[in-house]
Structure 1
Amino acid sequence: MLAALAVLTAGLLAFHRAVPNSLVRLGSLLESFLPWLGLVVVVLLALALLRRSAVALVALLLPVAAWTYLFGGLLLPATEPGAHELLVVQHNVSDENPDPSGTARALADAGPDLIALQELVPPALAVYERTLAPEYPYHAVRGTVGLWSKHPLTGTRLLDIKPREITEDWSRGLRTVVHTPNGEIAAYVAHLPSVRVRASGLASGRRDESAVLLGRAVAAEELETVILLGDLNSTVDDRGLTPLTSRMNVARRGLALSFPTAFPLARIDQVMARSASVAHIRTLPATGSDHLPVAARITLGVYDHRQGGVVAQR
């Protein structure tokens, strides 16, 4: 029995995409908590040792190998910062945050080049603008999302990622150009619709539709380098984010479980990049939000105009 459970766990890890997503969206639900299958392996290991089952111990090598392949790299130490890097912070500040001023100061203390925020509502928005202004003179806000920057911003526009079912005012995306010392970067800030776990399964249709619209916008972006920061209400393993993860790089180091603050179960606050890499991602201390902030190091590509593309990353 233990050996059979070990093989089943290995199968779920290695072939999670084969789990059907029809009806109850079981596949997405599994993928949202996929790293936690490691706890199943630990329990099976303890039982195998208790039973002194050599067969079970050998079978456990399969899920251990599968988990290590999928998530082992995230646990490796962060590499040293390079010359062509940006530090960015992503945070859903919560529309019920009792201390927006303290939250803004905490994020600025991390020293990032860019700060992306979601659930910006009046009058808290004015507090964020006032508190961040001294260190972040450039900012752009559209609807309930915003970006604060140490570098100039131009070409800011609303990003239409609203699902068809939503008829009320709903603005959760923006696109702007960041003029960094290493060149222009298209920065996207987004807040995808929430999901709910119900008796009928995972309700993620709106989020998935919004992810498709966001993926199309990224695909149509003319600038070479793109950074996406947002509360995507999904993990990078969830097939619901395939329109984005198929086009962009995700973090190579760091788990950074960000939600909920009281007991983080998943990282739904994401930093992704195109023609650049997310070298490392980590959580910052809790603020007045139900999400933890995440900070990521973006390693920019070196663009060679003679060859017409990114030729190296440092």
Structure 2
Amino acid sequence: MVRRGFRPEPWLRGPVLAALGLLLGLLMLLHAEIPNRIGNLGSLVETFLPWFGLFVPVLLAGALWRRSAAAVAALLLPVTVWLNLFGGLLDDKSRPDSDLTVAGHNVGAANPDPAGTARDLAASGADVLALEELTQRARGTYEKELAKEYPYHTVMGTVGLWSRLPLSDIRPVDTAMDHGPLADTKPLDVRMADNRALRATVATDQGPLAVYVAHLGSARVNPRAGFWTDSRDRGARALGAAVAAERNERVVLLGDLNGTMDDRAFADLTSRLRSVQEAAGDGFGFTWPATFPMVRIDQILVRGVEPASARVLPATGSDHLPVAAGISW
């Protein structure tokens, strides 16, 4: 017979909370094993993976309220896994010295103040500036406002590159992966209007630097299709193939990739390029949405150069935040 008022021992209390703590840890530990066959669930989890750490204090509060030693102990697993995955991002790894500063920004097609955005970006001190989501209406404004600071520039489709240093070998990069029988039948001006990536060589005093600018397809959460990323994923694979074929040892990729580098969809890029935020940043560097950043989808990735610093710039009229990085030879 159980005595009235009997409470189980601390190690026997809160079995549900303990189970939830273990499941949370296993989810973060084994995220790569979550399949994408159903609604791209694996990529969706990986996109918001850092935020799963917020469940730890919630479960801890429940464990303390229940005075459950088992639930508190179970939380050691998710805490350890989260720190192993993201603890390195919490330290400031930047160095003051760099040879070149690069910056990228999705300026936003609906940006109400492109002139102000251009002036803010010019004041950032970047030597090389990549812009995405350029509209025909706003293109002239950016060209006018950036002309003084950046004597060299190119625009292809909706992406552009401005530089204080000479540019050469400029060409579009096909991220649509449309290689069917009708791929080459479109007029050139139509294909250029659809272009969302380019490649150029920047002449530095240490030799040529290959710079890629890209704006990959959007990702959408749809109740029927789940996490829809087909266009983005095709673009990521195409961009990875372009980088793999790049002969220049020094490469910088700037762009709105519409995804985080934890997402397996970017394996072709992350296997060849380093994230400056992970190597030389301070914190997660979230960039979208600008009003309350929750994910870093605006990326700077490098190869053959050393990241010296990485930072998120102040908000402009865009719904994205600009990003910048210092690199060294």
Q: TM-score, normalised by structure 1?
A: 0.91
Per-residue CA deviations over 1:241-300 (Å, capped at 9, x if unaligned) read: 111111111122231111111221101000001122434432211111111111222233
Distance 1:110 1:72 in 2: 29
Q: Distance in 1 between matches of 2:60 and 2:161?
A: 46
CA distances 1:6-50 after superposition (whole Å, capped 9, x unpaired): 111111212111000113100000011010011111211222222
State the partner residue of 2:287.
Answer: 258
Cα distance in 1, alignment partners of residues 49 and 299 from structure 2: 16
Contact 1:87/1:298 (CA < 8 Å) preserved in 2?
yes
Structure 2: give runs of 5+ residues left out of the alignment: 1-15
Of 26, 30, 48, which aligns to 2:41?
26
Matched with 2:96 is 81
Runs of 4+ in 1 over 6 A off after TM superposition: 165-168
Please name the residue that 2:259 is paired with: 234
Q: 1:245 aligns with which of 270, 293, 298?
A: 270
Is residue 2:137 matched to residue 1:132? no
Cα shift readout 1:165-217 (whole Å, capped 9, x = no counterpart): 99974100100001112221100000000011001201101111111110000
Amino acid at match of 2:99: E
Q: Is 1:177 the equivalent of 2:191?
A: no
Specify the alignment match of 1:303 in structure 2. none
TM-score relative to the length of structure 2? 0.87
Output one character per residue of 1:55-107: Cα deviation in whole Å (capped at 9) or x when no partner: 2222211111111111111110133223x432221110011111111001111
Code of the aligned partner of 2:214: A
Aligned pair in 2 of structure 1 residues 42, 282: CA closer, same or farther (>3 Å)? farther
**1:126-165 aligned within 5 A:** 126-164=140-178
Question: Which one has a larger percent strand, Structure 1 or Structure 2?
Answer: 1
> Aligned equivalents of 2:35 and 2:233: distance in 1?
16
Q: 8 Å contact 1:196–1:202 — kept in the other structure?
A: yes
SS at 1:123's partner residue? helix
Cα distance in 1 for residues equivalent to 2:70 and 2:170? 60
What does residue 283 of structure 1 align with? 312
- Indicate the structure (1 or 2) with the bigger Cα radius of gyration: 2
1:50 maps to what in 2? 65
